[in-house]
Each structure stands twice: as structure tokens, then as C-alpha cells.
A and B are shown apart, each in its own frame.
Chain A
Amino acid sequence: SQQGEEDPQALSIQEGENATMNCSYKTSINNLQWYRQNSGRGLVHLILIRSNEREKHSGRLRVTLDTSKKSSSLLITASRAADTASYFCATDRRSGNTPLVFGKGTRLSVIA
């Protein structure tokens, strides 16, 4: 089944630096979503970008979408220790009413 794949698998940065995570997917989508998961907890929805959008901002988050390359990136600016978590991209499988398919995630560690 279609699945977003995040890159890198793990990322370690210093507090105050920017963190960039990438997601690639295989087939056409309606939209792409990013989620965050703190250790051992449920996922929290961060941002949704539609297939006709190229960039979206939410606070310190910036998401881009390149449908020609079937890829998306999530940028967290001025990272904080509290941003330490796993980040997942999720896509629908095709046009229509189908559940989200999640990637395996990027584990971000922000060192104070």
C-alpha cells in the first residue's frame, strides 16, 4: 500500500537550530498531513496541506509540498527541547474516502 517515507529516520540538533524532516510518497494525493508523537503517547495533528498548496505555516512550523516530486518537508524553526518527539507524515491512498497511511516517522532530539 502507498506509504509516506520520512527522512531522516533520526535527527539530533541543538536548541535554537532549525530542524528539517522530509517525506516522500508514491501516488497522487488529496492532501498530506504531519503529526507529532511524544514518547509513548498518541499522535497529535500538526498541519494539513492540500495538493493545490505549495507552502503552509503554523507558528514555528513550515510545511512545503511538491506534488511533481511527490515530496513534502516539515521545518521547525528555533527548536526547543520540548520539540523532542517523533514526527510522522500521513497521506490518503488515492482520491476518495480512504484512511490515512502513515510513514514510519523521524525521531527528533533537541538538545538543550
Chain B
Amino acid sequence: DVKVTQSSRYLVKRTGEKVFLECVQDMDHENMFWYRQDPGLGLRLIYFSYDVKMKEKGDIPEGYSVSREKKERFSLILESASTNQTSMYLCASSLSPGTNYGYTFGSGTRLTVV
């Protein structure tokens, strides 16, 4: 069964820590995405990547960076975690450029910054 795997379901970090959220897909998908989901705000795009070593900013990239050294892995980095980054983080991948195919999502990482 093809899937997107996020390394942690729940994570608690302290303010100021550097946080790594890992996402791995086994479908040989070109495209990978990071969204965050907050009550009342829906899903918001943080960063995305259409190829290895390529990255593009989404709507809310401030305070985040990403790394894509291998096709199957897309990491989200919180350089210095803050309480307003407490959220559900969702990783997704898709087969081709554009939106002609659906996205496959991971189960999400619920991050709490204290």
C-alpha cells in the first residue's frame, strides 16, 4: 500500500528549539508539500518541492525552512520554535506537476511548542 509517512504523530518541543519534521513517500512522486492546519484557518501551504534540491515558498514560509536531498524525503525545519507554531503539520505528495492527480497525505504531526 503506497503511503506517505511522517516520523512523529505527536511532538512536544520547547520555545527556541530547532525542530525537524520528517516526511517520506514510497511512491516515487515528484512533488511534495508541507501544510499546517489550524482551527478556523484550514490548511495553509508552507513550502513545496517539485524536484530534488528544489523548493518553493508557499503562503506562510516565515519561520520555516525545508530540505529535499532525496526524492522520497522532504523535511520541514523550524529554525527556532515559537508557541505560534503549535499546529497540526501535514505532508503530502503527488505524482506529477500541476494538479491532475490527487495528493496523498501523511497522518500528520501534532506539534506543541511550550
A residues lining the B interface (CB < 8 Å): 1, 3, 30-31, 33, 35, 40-45, 48, 88, 90-92, 96-105
Contacts and interface: CB of A to CB of B under 8 A. Distances in A.
A12 to B, nearest CB: 18
Interface string B92-110: 1000011111111111101
B109 to A, nearest CB: 10
Interface of B: 4, 31, 33, 35, 40-43, 45, 48, 50, 58-59, 88, 90, 92, 97-108, 110
B27 to A, nearest CB: 13
B108 A42 contact: yes
A46 B49 CA distance: 23
Nearest to A91: B99
B48 A102 contact: no
Nearest to B48: A99
Given A30-B99, A43-B43, 4 more contacts: A3-B42, A35-B103, A96-B98, A98-B98
A45 to B, nearest CB: 3
The A contact surface, by secondary structure, is loop
B102 A88 contact: no
A104 B102 contact: no
A43 B99 contact: no
Contact of B98 (A41, A91, A92, A105): A92
A97 B98 contact: yes
A1 B45 CA distance: 11
A42 B107 contact: yes
B97 to A, nearest CB: 4
Given A99-B45, A101-B45, A104-B40, A41 B102 contact: no
A31 B108 contact: no
